[in-house]
Amino acid sequence: MATKQLTTQSPFPLRLLAYSNERFPYWQVLSQFPMFVAAFLVGQAAVGRDPHFAWAILFGFIGFVAYTLMVRAIDDHKDWEHDSKHYPDRVLQSGLITLKHLKIVGIICFLLSILASLIVDRGIGRVTMWWFIIIVTNNLVQLAQIKNPKVGTWIESRRVLLALTVVPFWGLGSVWIAQMGADGRWLTADIWWLVAPWCVGALLLEIARKSQDPDDTRETVVDYTKKSSSWTRSLGLVGTVSTLVALAFLVTLLEYVLLNSLGYDVWWATLALVITMLLPLGAAGWFAVKPDRYRAKTVAEQSAGVWLIGQIILVIALLVVN
């Protein structure tokens, strides 16, 4: 059923599904799976275990998806006033779903994420410890913006700084997932080679995600391709393309270093990582011929694809190489 056909009297599951399709679509969940599995397998390899699929992947992935949905619910609370003014047609802003509904969704997701950690830990252990760390580091930033709207407005207007706020969760979140694969053992220092590409990948995805609406040039829309007098507010068209390609190259290099640190840097995996870089480079060359927002969008899509394909390559290498 199309969103425009829904009313406040429509069955709640349909209204909730409309919200999910708009703000947390299924393709986003699917793209999170190779990321999760790669980090889980790295956790196994980091403690000397042969990477393999394990029962903990199912519970852990449910917890991971629940946590990211909870973050989305908190974000929509934080951005309520801004989005109500500039995006009145969204499901939440139109009243089909209310903030109270989102609070309930957030609480359920919070409980699912901690429950998944406890199940994988078989009690309170190292996985739960890292869950607590990401709850504190990530949610303090979000809650500070909710409690002090001026802080949120200040950060929102400085789009590059806004992108940096997503780094703590994704970086430390990768350790949370890797710890699930470590089966109760302490992770080694090599795990920071996992954290590094996840931090860079988070910036890459955030900038790519908010540089994909060529038709919308409103100043209120968070889009890194807009002109600005300060790099903290926007990167501009050429700056965004250059940044995306640079981040795609860096994340690919870090993925190779990660495989190398674990002893899984086989030639075909290295070659596959190199070939993926042809995607954003080709799109950037096309952009150079005729720089516009539409071709910049292609660069954004191809650069984001480099991260996802790279994670799939990591999974294959970790599972295949003995």
pLDDT of the chain along its 322 residues, tens only? 456 678 788 888 898 999 998 888 888 899 999 999 999 999 999 999 999 999 999 999 999 999 999 989 888 887 787 788 778 888 898 888 999 999 999 999 999 999 999 999 999 999 999 999 998 887 777 777 767 777 767 777 777 877 787 888 899 999 999 999 998 899 988 899 999 999 999 999 989 988 766 666 666 666 788 777 677 777 888 999 999 999 999 999 999 999 999 999 899 999 999 999 999 999 999 999 999 888 999 999 999 999 999 999 999 999 998 6
- Rounded to whole angstroms, how far apart are CA atoms 40 and 31? 15
Those residues with Cβ within 8 angstroms of residue 134's Cβ, 6 or more apart along the chain or in another chain: 67, 168, 169, 172, 173, 176
pLDDT tens, 192-216?
999 999 999 999 998 998 876 666 6
Number of Cβ within a 10 Å radius of residue 128: 18
- pLDDT value of residue 90: 87
- Please report the pLDDT score of residue 162 as a whole number: 77
Q: Which pair of structure tokens corresponds to residue 15? A: 């209204």
Listed by start position, the domains of the chain span 8-186, 188-322
| Beta carbons within 10 angstroms of residue 245's beta carbon | 21
Give helix 126-147 / helix 99-121 axis angle, nearest 10°.
160
Q: Which CATH number fits domain 8-186: 1.20.1630, 1.20.120, 1.10.287, 1.10.357?
A: 1.10.357
In whole angstroms, give the CA distance from residue 240 to residue 101. 36
Structure tokens at 13: 């599951």
